[in-house]
Structure 1
Amino acid sequence: SAPAQAPAAGASPSSAAVPVAASPAGVEDACVFLVSVGENGRVSTGSGFFVAPGRVATNRHVVEASQGGLLVTSKALGRPVAGRVLARSNEENGDYALVAVELPADARPAVLGFADAARRTDKVGAWGFPDVVGKNDPGYARLLTGADITAMPELSYSEGVVSAVLDRTPPLIVHTAPISPGNSGGPLVNERGEVVGINTMISLDEGSYRQASIALAGADLLRFLTAQGVPVQTRRAATEAP
């Protein structure tokens, strides 16, 4: 299995984030592109999404080599901002990180809520910034080469169904929405735009050349975020809200 690479960013929370609508536009406004710079100057990229005002969830492996700096950007943010890793999961299989992002005064990124669970045959969508798309994206190239630090890479969407939910720790969601390196840390959402998982890796079968997309279950990510004191929206809370 190969993780899909990505970085993170952040500083202080703000009340500027707004709840996401159950629409593609709402999910798009919650997703961010992360650029991580290691001590040796090596750059890696990945995906993340707002789970609370000024707070971004991503994979731990996306931000592990961010000693040289962390950059977060999206169309909703309007420009690149610095990020700061607040917490990383310590469990061997819990690949999570929480990043603080200082929101520009005029930014209104959306916040994604969480569904209760994902079930086999559920329709799902994977959002993120895969390298396979980015290598053909002029904005992606301008940003990473330093030619235009304000350039915005294009967010990518793919869809599929849940093939299986594996009863492991944490549970793994195997799905058919195509992902690749760069998707790591991006959300896997249901038809209502609610998070059911966080895309983390791909599993390749060399014999059949088949690829499986794998996300860590949203319920386990929710457990991690709750332990960090993040006020995450859940399906029930969203339903009961006035």
Structure 2
Amino acid sequence: MTRLFTLAAALLALILPAAAQADPADIDAAARGVVRVVIMGTDGDEVFPVSHGTGFAVGPRRIVTNAHVVREALQDDTLRIGIVPSEGGEAADYARPVAVSPGNDLALVEITGELRLPPLTIAAGAVRDGEVSAVGYPMNVDRAQGLDMGDIFRSQPPVKSRGFLSGQRPSRLFDTILHTAPIARGNSGGPLLDGCGRVIGVNSFGTDSGGSDGEFYFAVSTRELLPFLRANDVEARIADLPCRSLEDLNEAERARIERQQDEARQQLAARAQETRERRARAEDSARESVQTDRENAMALAFVLALAAFGAAAVAWQARQAGEGGERRMMIAGTIAAVAAIVALALWFTRPGLDEVERRVAAAMGEVDESPDAPGAEATGDGMLTCTLDLTRSRVVGAPDRELEFSWREDGCVNGRTQYGFSGGSWSRVFVPNQEQAVSVNLFDPATGTFRTDRYLLGRTDMAAARQARGKYSPPKCNAEGAASTLGDLQSGVTALLPSAPNERLVYSCEAKQ
């Protein structure tokens, strides 16, 4: 199965555009896990910054930065490493060094306090040309804003700059990415992101243009970062699929729906033509059979009429004969009467022209009662196996490639989770307490399509979503009106979500064999 997905990803990379333009929502989502890394000194009770750089979360408590950012703290045990999150207003938390690799300018530190961060996703595989974004805390911006030393210890949103990927090349004995997204002192250790907000490098240094040449900047490649994380037992979130913009995905989905509608119209037209041809054949056959039956009935009625006439003549002769002919008269008279009655019955019950329509309707009904083609029925109830459809999905993280769940017609999943029904759709909204993301699951039993839309929210928006979710308790399966009730209750959360998700996962489901 893994090989099949790898092949599908490779094919997808060939048919998709070269690279998706950076989506501001995705860059903002990634920025939630970007921090200011401050080297702090003390003078009595006073704490002051010595220098600072940038870092980003690869786990709730683990942060990647440059080795040169934390070098001073490693050389002087009177200095400490402080972590200032990009949002939330918390004071700086402390971190301890876990691993430092000066050879490729990477360092891993671990938060020692209560602070938890949303990890960024790392893009695996070859880096593709296109727009990139650098996120961090450049010192020249701090100076331009007039921030003093105390401001460094307060949460500030990181600065985002855009540029283009210029290539990959070894530099200073390690693999780097060359790009044009402006960075400055203080950006060191911050992430370089692709269009989906996934890490493709760790910003490290820039060229010295001397004021005359165009400037380029270097980021440590993920070919250096991923082995460094594995060597230090970090289970990072890794995405190995091409980045797609939601606009491209929506356009492809519209084209797919239009294509399906065209195919449906063509099938309907073909079926209508087939029905017309079948009806014409049925009419010809019915008309021929009715004509044959009519002629046969008339001929038999004529023969029976002749027989009745002959029998009547015999009866008349027997009567004229007097004694001895009574028995023969009775037999012949009976035969004449029966033959006459049957002849009249055949004549008056012979098929008429209206019989043609009845026989056509019967023939058409027999054909229409034939079983539907395979796959014509809806998914229905029972256990389902769902496979991720890469062509219809926008993958930002590392999703499950297959899902299994049971579905009931009342919207009960796995016998315990009720889905809401509103606006013709089945859905369930999930607002976790340990993750800064809201997921909206939707299922269409008619087409067997399961979809997950994930919204990566900042702390303020996430707090509002949790507050809205806390105002209701989802009804349990089998409760009266559970589906419609939950459909109404969930609207309080969905009304707070952005217009478009950061990630959309579409699965095709079928009954489990």
TM range (shorter): 0.7 to 0.9
CA RMSD of aligned residues (A): 2.6
Deviation of 1:149 after TM superposition, in Å, equals 7.3
Larger Rg: 2
Spell out, residue by residue over 1:35-72, the C-alpha distance to the aligned partner (whole angstroms, 9 max, x if none): 10369977011100000120000000000101311111
Amino acid of the residue matched to residue 238 of structure 1? A
Q: Is the contact between residue 96 and residue 112 of structure 2 (CA under 8 Å) also seen in structure 1?
A: no
Equivalent runs, 1:7-156 vs 2, <5 Å:
23-37=26-40, 43-66=50-73, 67=77, 68-76=79-87, 78-79=89-90, 80-91=92-103, 94-102=104-112, 104=114, 109-117=117-125, 119=127, 121-137=129-145, 140-141=147-148, 144=149, 146=150, 151-156=154-159
Instruction: Flag the 1:166–1:149 CA change in 2: closer, same or farther, 3 A.
Output: closer
Deviation of 1:108 after TM superposition, in Å, equals 5.2
Q: Is the contact between residue 158 and residue 177 of structure 1 (CA under 8 Å) also seen in structure 2?
A: yes
Deviation of 1:117 after TM superposition, in Å, equals 3.9
Higher relative contact order (CA 8 A, sep 6+): 1
Tell me, yes or no, if structure 1 residue 171 matches structure 2 residue 175. yes
Structure that is richer in helix per residue: 2
Structure that is richer in strand per residue: 1
Percent sequence identity is: 32
The secondary structure found in structure 1 opposite 2:35 is strand
Report the equivalent of 2:223.
219
CA distance in 2, matches of 1:49, 1:207: 31
Tell me, yes or no, if structure 1 residue 191 matches structure 2 residue 199. no
Instruction: Flag the 1:135–1:207 CA change in 2: closer, same or farther, 3 A.
Output: closer
Which of 206, 209, 215 is the equivalent residue of 2:210?
Answer: 206
The secondary structure found in structure 2 opposite 1:47 is strand
Q: Is the contact between residue 36 and residue 86 of structure 2 (CA under 8 Å) also seen in structure 1?
A: no
CA distance in 1, matches of 2:26, 2:170: 30
Report the equivalent of 1:18.
none
* TM-score, normalisation: structure 1: 0.78
- Matched positions, count: 213
CA distance in 2, matches of 1:90, 1:24: 28
| Structure 1: runs of 5+ lacking an equivalent | 1-21
CA distance in 1, matches of 2:175, 2:125: 11
Q: Is the contact between residue 117 and residue 196 of structure 1 (CA under 8 Å) also seen in structure 2?
A: no
Instruction: Flag the 1:239–1:201 CA change in 2: closer, same or farther, 3 A.
Output: same
* TM-score, normalisation: structure 2: 0.39
Tell me, yes or no, if structure 1 residue 238 matches structure 2 residue 394. no
CA distance in 2, matches of 1:47, 1:183: 6
CA distance in 2, matches of 1:136, 1:205: 21
| Structure 2: runs of 5+ lacking an equivalent | 1-24, 241-396, 404-513
Spell out, residue by residue over 1:185-213, the C-alpha distance to the aligned partner (whole angstroms, 9 max, x if none): 00001011111000000112338333211
CA distance in 2, matches of 1:207, 1:192: 33
